[in-house]
Structure 1
């Protein structure tokens, strides 16, 4: 099965030589499941020729806001709608989660409640799951075609499914300790309040459930269901 990774942003320059770019994070997360990968850097206006070029699609995170004026956003939204209409499986993470919701009629905003960063607890399909987060923007109004399957008190629309066609989640299963540590160092200061950054560092060694979500992503691509 060929998975097309639609890369909507880049890891910080200082971090990229250590952990790779965002597409490589997903290749590592989903490795060993019989997938082949193709990366399209849509943030740099590199789009696939056709939605049928891959058997499934995944949209990465980004430092950009889905509501911002960037050249890649309108064609990406059109691509999302085309993929959804065709019933090709699509997964969205963080920015991917947000841009899919926006493209299909939802609303994304810079959340007045501030940031979620580092190790964060959610309820997913009625069960507790802990993942690394890094966002201030969030889906504040979900599309009519979306169903909530994950949430917490901070983020009411933390995970969504759209029939059996799309699965999206706000936190980052692809972010491990090294990535979060790098973001705290290179993207946190001046953006995220210092007390939150300090708390993230204190929790760096604690476990998260990334492999559990990776298994759900794999299951979704192969069966179009999220347990």
Structure 2
């Protein structure tokens, strides 16, 4: 299966000398699942044109520092791309900003949360028992880094992961081909820690310290990656 990664942002400049770009993080994640994936990257945030989603095997929309409510020339074309992919039932996965822009494009409400920053490893309750989550434990601990949240899910979406901090942390869509997560299963712990440290001065020091301590919690990111690969494979 060819996974077309719609890149919507880049690793923050202070961290680029230490960490791989986001598309390579996803490649590393999916390769570790043993799935038969090939990859292409379309840097829409840098001006690359979007393809016809009807011609694609599967789509992944990455994270970004952008907000869906901001004024970027590439946002409206991306919204239409998402709607077209949804109507064609092209396999589609959104992560963090990808999760938010999918919800926004398909009728949800996304805003900067008054709860503040979500940092470190959060634990999410599994609420939807779809086939790809049939072997999942009751909760999944996965890294996150965000302020924006999906506050109202689209009518076509079902909540599959939730926490008190992020009630709409995972959404599965009724067309059977679209899935999105607020958390970042592609993040290694050293990158999650570096992102949290980068927030000092923006997020309270106590929150950053708690985020760093949370990384002692065993991660379920590899499990989530396998569930996602299974979901996308079911679309082949």
| TM-score category of the 2 structures, normalised to the smaller one | over 0.9
Mapped pair 1:175 → 2:177: no
| Mapping 1:113-192, distance limit 5 Å | 113-125=115-127, 127-163=138-174, 164-186=176-198, 188-192=199-203
Q: In structure 1, what is the Cα distance between the partners aligned to 2:3 and 2:20?
A: 18
Q: In structure 2, what is the Cα distance between the partners aligned to 1:15 and 1:66?
A: 24
Paired residues of 1:19 and 1:178 also in contact (CA < 8 A): no
* Deviations 1:52-103, CA, capped at 9 Å, x for gaps: 4430000011111111111111110010001001000100011000000000
Q: In structure 2, what is the Cα distance between the partners aligned to 1:150 and 1:173?
A: 13
1:57 partner SS: strand
1:58 partner SS: strand
RMSD: 1.5
- After superposing the two structures, state which structure 1 stretch, 124-133 or 142-151, moved more: 124-133
| Mapping 1:18-97, distance limit 5 Å | 18-31=18-31, 32-97=34-99
2:18 partner SS: helix
TM-score (norm 1): 0.94
Deviation, 1:206, is: 3.4
2:172 partner SS: strand
* Deviations 1:92-131, CA, capped at 9 Å, x for gaps: 0110000000000100011111121101111023611101
- After superposing the two structures, state which structure 1 stretch, 24-33 or 201-210, moved more: 201-210
1:49 partner SS: coil
Q: In structure 2, what is the Cα distance between the partners aligned to 1:69 and 1:193?
A: 28
Paired residues of 1:25 and 1:174 also in contact (CA < 8 A): yes
Q: In structure 1, what is the Cα distance between the partners aligned to 2:214 and 2:124?
A: 16
Q: In structure 2, what is the Cα distance between the partners aligned to 1:20 and 1:62?
A: 15
Count of aligned pairs: 224
Mapped pair 1:103 → 2:105: yes
Paired residues of 2:141 and 2:217 also in contact (CA < 8 A): no
**Unaligned regions of 5+ residues in structure 2, if any?**
129-137
Paired residues of 2:104 and 2:110 also in contact (CA < 8 A): yes
1:221 partner SS: helix
1:130 partner SS: strand
